[in-house]
Amino acid sequence: MGMTIDSFLLELASRLGGPVYTVSLRILEDSSGRRLTLWMQMTSSGKRLAVMGGPDEPRLQFFHGEVEAVSGEPQSVAGSFLKLCPADVANSQALRAVLPSLQPVPLGLVASAGFGDRLGLATPGHVRALHQVMKGSATRPIAPIFAQQSIREMSRSERTPEQVLSDATWGALEAGWQGPVGADADHLKTAADIDACAEAGFSLYTIDPGEYVDSGADRANSAIYTSKVEALPWDVLESSPSDLLRRYADHVFDLGERQLTISREDALRAAAKYGRAVAHIVELYRHLELIGIPFELEVSVDETETPTSHAEHYYVASELRRLGIHWVSLAPRFVGRFEKGVDYIGDLPALAADLIGHALIARVLGPYKLSLHSGSDKFSVYPLIADATRGLVHLKTAGTSYLEALRVIAGVDPIYFREVLAFAREHYVADRLSYHVSARVERVPSPNALFDADLPKLLDQFDARQVLHVTYGSVLGWSGERLKAVLRANEEAHYAALQKHFERHLRPFSGVVAHPPYPPSLGVEDSQ
């Protein structure tokens, strides 16, 4: 009996010195009947892409790598050529050319989740979690954004937009993802940042106008906030103060299930606070349009000092719509505290009411998705926002994948984890300045105060999570290659930890899990 393609791959894997990631196997046949077979494989020098095709297969030329002829059985591959290709940026671009499903695209209004990956190693674990959650009784699909990173994160992790997208592409292939994907260029502030991410092939552009939000307008007296309104860039806004008042002052707006009343003061304060931010969004959106690529826009005003009121949300969305801006999701600054790496801090019934109001505005002025930023580990919030939005929601996570990587390292290499912890404790005071966190380093145990078996549990402690979370850039600059080497040597443990962690993140958005109205949360008193 002749050799089958499966047995051939096993034999080939043995000859090449490493296992095949079997779920990555793809067999592509074009209209002329030419067949291209590709798969991911581990070799002694790291992960590689194997690409096999006949001598007349033009797609082989897309990739660079070592070429050898294939002989013997099975007959279906005899006479083919095998190209063993490094998993680099250039080959990831070639891969997306032959497998368009891996090319990021706009995802529309389906519920979605962004999986930030600061190490470039986490995507297979994210894919496993999403595969598991979408099995069986899931009633809502969840579209993934495996490549998601802000310019700030790229700088701190010393990665380029091309590398971020490349790592996500290889991880998605390795784990067998075959659905659509997006790619989020997160927290963009300048046209130059947009250009860099557009050239790489990102599909979602999250505009962060936070530095243009004037939170002082919340506390200003009428003379001050009126003068702030007069000084807005009305040429960009294509309007005037009198038109602003005509549109919003002392109006009642129908939100379907309730009404929203905006007073003259509300209108002026909203414009004073957010008018320059709206103008900045407009300018960056116009720049994106000129690039001429398919894209989606997310508006992010979450990293501000004060919450976004419903009147302010209505003002921002209504003004953007008036100016011809199209966006798929918007991230207000919700009430309470959304700190990095920990659950919601605040009054959950108050948050539930706040979410319902924002969701109603998103339905009436869109529809568009509400986006939950600093969304990692907000387990008490997920059922509330999933219910309020009826699935019109985007979840954005980032640092929690890094924390799960550290949990794995604490279990497999406690000596090294102690070094990381000591380094993080030393750098926290400086690194925390650009984050909304309240951890105190003196509440984080000394590295030598814990037994080895207790080290992974440190990743469940409020202060330790935040100290480790915000110091990732310093840690990677100091010991990034060593940290990644430990995870590569313990790949299965790393993927399993991520899968378990992200199943918990995703299930409330899939329509599967029954839940009480207000699950237990880490309150303010617990974090002090």
pLDDT band at 70 (very low <50, low <70, confident <90, very high): confident
Query: Smallest Cα–Cα separation from 476: which of 427, 443, 442, 407?
Result: 427
Range in 8-17, 316-325, 417-426 the model is least confident about: 8-17
C-beta atoms surrounding 212 within 10 Å: 18
360-400 tens-digit pLDDT: 999 999 999 999 999 999 999 999 999 999 999 999 999 99
Average pLDDT over residues 70-83: 69
Contact 501, 457 (CB under 8 A): no
The span from the CA of 289 to the CA of 277, in Å, is 18
**Which of 404, 408, 411 has its CA nearest to residue 502?**
404
What angle in degrees, to the nearest 10, is found between the helix axes of 399-412 and 472-489? 50
Whole-number pLDDT of residue 446: 94
> How far is the C-alpha of 339 from the C-alpha of 436, rounded, in Å?
6
pLDDT digits (tens, 9 = 90+) for 50-68: 999 998 899 999 999 999 8
Q: Is 380 helix (H, G, I), strand (E, B) or coil?
A: coil
- Average pLDDT over the chain reads 92
Looking at the chain, how many residues does it have? 528
Phi (first) and psi of residue 260, to 5 degrees: -120, 120
Spatial separation of the C-alpha atoms in residues 341 and 459, rounded to whole Å: 10
Q: What is the DSSP letter of 121?
A: -
CA angle 374, 379, 383 (to 5 degrees): 105
Using omega within 30 degrees of 0 as the cis cutoff, is the peptide bond preceding 367 cis?
yes
Task: Please determine, for residue 422, whether its predicted confidence score (pLDDT) is greater than 70.
Answer: yes
pLDDT 10s digits, 442-494: 999 999 999 999 999 999 999 999 999 999 999 999 999 999 999 999 999 99
Q: Check residue 52 and report its DSSP letter.
A: E
- As given in the structure block, the two tokens for residue 113 are 């989740």
Would you say residue 527 has pLDDT above 80?
no
Residue 525 has pLDDT above 60, yes or no: no
d(CA 39, CA 262): 58
CA pair distance 333, 160, nearest whole angstrom:
28
Strands 35-43 and 46-53: antiparallel
The pLDDT of residue 10 is above 90: no
Which residues participate in catalysis according to the annotation? 186, 298
514 Cα distance to chain centroid? 25
Specify the DSSP element, H or E, that contains 417: helix 414-431
| CB of 513 closer than 8 Å to CB of 138 | no
Torsional class of 258: left (φ above 0), alpha (ψ -120 to 50), beta (otherwise): beta
Phi/psi class of residue 414: alpha, beta or left (left: φ > 0; alpha: ψ in -120 to 50)? alpha
Name every residue whose Cβ is closer than 8 Å to that of residue 132 and which is 6 or more positions away in sequence.
Answer: 499, 503
pLDDT-derived band at 513 (thresholds 50, 70, 90) equals: very low
* Rounded distance between C-alpha atoms, residue 270 and residue 312, angstroms: 5
pLDDT, tens digit (0-9, with 9 covering 90-100), for 338-354: 999 999 999 999 999 99
pLDDT given for residue 117 in this prediction? 96
Looking at residue 14, its pLDDT comes to 65
In the numeric block, which tokens belong to residue 25?
């196997």
Helix, strand, coil in percent for the chain, rounding step 5: 50, 15, 35
In one-letter notation, the amino acid at residue 325 is I
Q: Which domains does the chain have, with CATH numbers?
A: 5-98 (no CATH), 104-218+289-528 (3.20.20.70)
Q: Please answer whether residues 338 and 331 qualify as being in contact, where contact means their C-beta atoms are separated by less than 8 angstroms.
A: no
486 touches 416 (CB < 8 A): yes
